[in-house]
Amino acid sequence: MNDADMIKTYMKTYEGQIRQWRRQFHEYPETSFQERRTTLRIVNILEDMGIPCEVNPEQHTGVVAKIEGDHPGKAVALRADIDALPVQEANDVPFKSRCSGCMHACGHDGHIAVLLGAARMLVNMKDRLYGTVYLIFQPGEETGRGAPYMIRFGNWYEEIGSIFGGHLWIDVPSGKVSVEKGERMAAADEFTILVHGLAGHGSQPQQTVDATVVASAIVLNLQSVVSRHVSPLDSVVLTVGTMKSGTRFNIISGEAELRGTTRYFKKEMAEDIKTTMERIVQNTAAAYGASAELQYRVMVPPVVNEEGCSAIAEDAVRKILGGDAVTTLEKTTGGEDFAYYLEKKPGCFALIGIYNPDVGAVHSHHSDTFTLDESALPGAAGIYAMYAVDWLRLHS
């Protein structure tokens, strides 16, 4: 039996277990860097499989596990994120979240189950592995800080020659997978703008510098960053998501705060966007007699799939799910901290279809009614395992 046929056999064998794992983790979600119960549960499952693992001691969440093949070779990593969101679940299911105000509303519960499924397959295939497979269960993806946190832990990152990961994706039909080369997900930066004016009575505006008016002008002027400062051939998004100003109907505000995000696909654009925003913010404030400061944080760089790794991933999809399963998808301006792993190591990030109206899997990520098609999970686990087997064999 060849490697792919063996993996497909395991997919059927462990299908029920993978579904059960997903539901167990869904029932007890934990937000970013609070995933200690989740971490302990992952460790227990891995230890039951006989797979050695370590918990990141920095915040006692996140796991690195290691499967060593019977044949010498290089090392490859497979990654799953494990954090949930501060969302109150509205689904009425037997495994509904038991944690008030917390829900796996993005599919990370499925990611955990998929990687555990791949681990179960790979530990049974050690005689076919030419090297080492690291399993990375990463906290804090929703904050953009989880990947750097895991990179700092141990020497696994230095040892690997490639890394593979993925996201269960509601915009892709169940049974389809996108693994294209090149730009896949955008850089996601976060900014805060603090406006300092002069407060006063609403009946005497001439004695004030109205921070609300200044902040409003800054919001409008920032729209020119995309429309007039960036090439129309480049995809850039600038969104001001919140504006806070004022305390009472008849008081002119002296302070205002704007918060938002920028998205782009070329890493080198970050500094230019920041510089342009800084100029607009300060000059707009000065025109009104106010002052303002921009606080800008690069949250995650863009996700860019390496060509060779994408080819291996596409081949894995064909072997496991068939040629019709390979699909193409336009790059998305959503962000993903998997990008940090790809800065120094070649790899591939897959978008794995879970859209299926027949099971109610139609709602967007982060929705309180988000759910997924669980029938896609065994195939996803098989693709993870196949990628590891093939990459190690090709580089042995």
Question: 190 among the known binding-site residues?
Answer: no
SS3 284: helix
Euclidean distance between the first and the last CA atom of the chain, given in angstroms as a whole number: 21
**Tokens 């291996």 found at:** 312
> How many helices (H) and strands (E) in the chain?
10, 15
d(CA 274, CA 193): 12
Residue 391 C-alpha from the chain's centroid: 23
Q: Which residues pair with 173 in a beta bridge?
A: 355
How much is the pLDDT for 233? 87
Question: 71 among the known binding-site residues?
Answer: no
d(CA 396, CA 128): 12
All structural domains of the chain: 3-185+302-394 (3.40.630.10), 187-300 (3.30.70.360)
Nearest to 167 by CA among 112, 118, 121: 112
Overall size of the chain counted in residues? 396
How much is the pLDDT for 226? 94
Give pLDDT tens digits along the chain (396 positions): 899 999 999 999 999 999 999 999 999 999 999 999 999 999 999 999 999 999 999 999 999 999 999 999 999 999 999 999 999 999 999 999 999 999 999 999 999 999 999 999 999 999 999 999 999 999 999 999 999 999 999 999 999 999 999 999 999 999 999 999 999 999 999 999 999 999 999 999 999 999 999 999 999 999 999 999 999 989 999 999 999 999 999 999 999 999 999 999 998 899 999 999 999 999 999 999 999 999 999 999 999 999 999 999 999 999 999 999 999 999 999 999 999 999 999 999 999 999 999 999 999 999 999 999 999 999 999 999 999 999 999 998
Element (H, E) at 384: helix 377-394
Q: Which tokens sit at 3?
A: 């490697």
> Which residues lie closer than 8 Å to 331 by C-beta, 6 or more apart?
182, 183, 184, 185, 186, 235, 265
Question: 366 among the known binding-site residues?
Answer: yes
Question: 330 among the known binding-site residues?
Answer: no
Question: 108 among the known binding-site residues?
Answer: yes
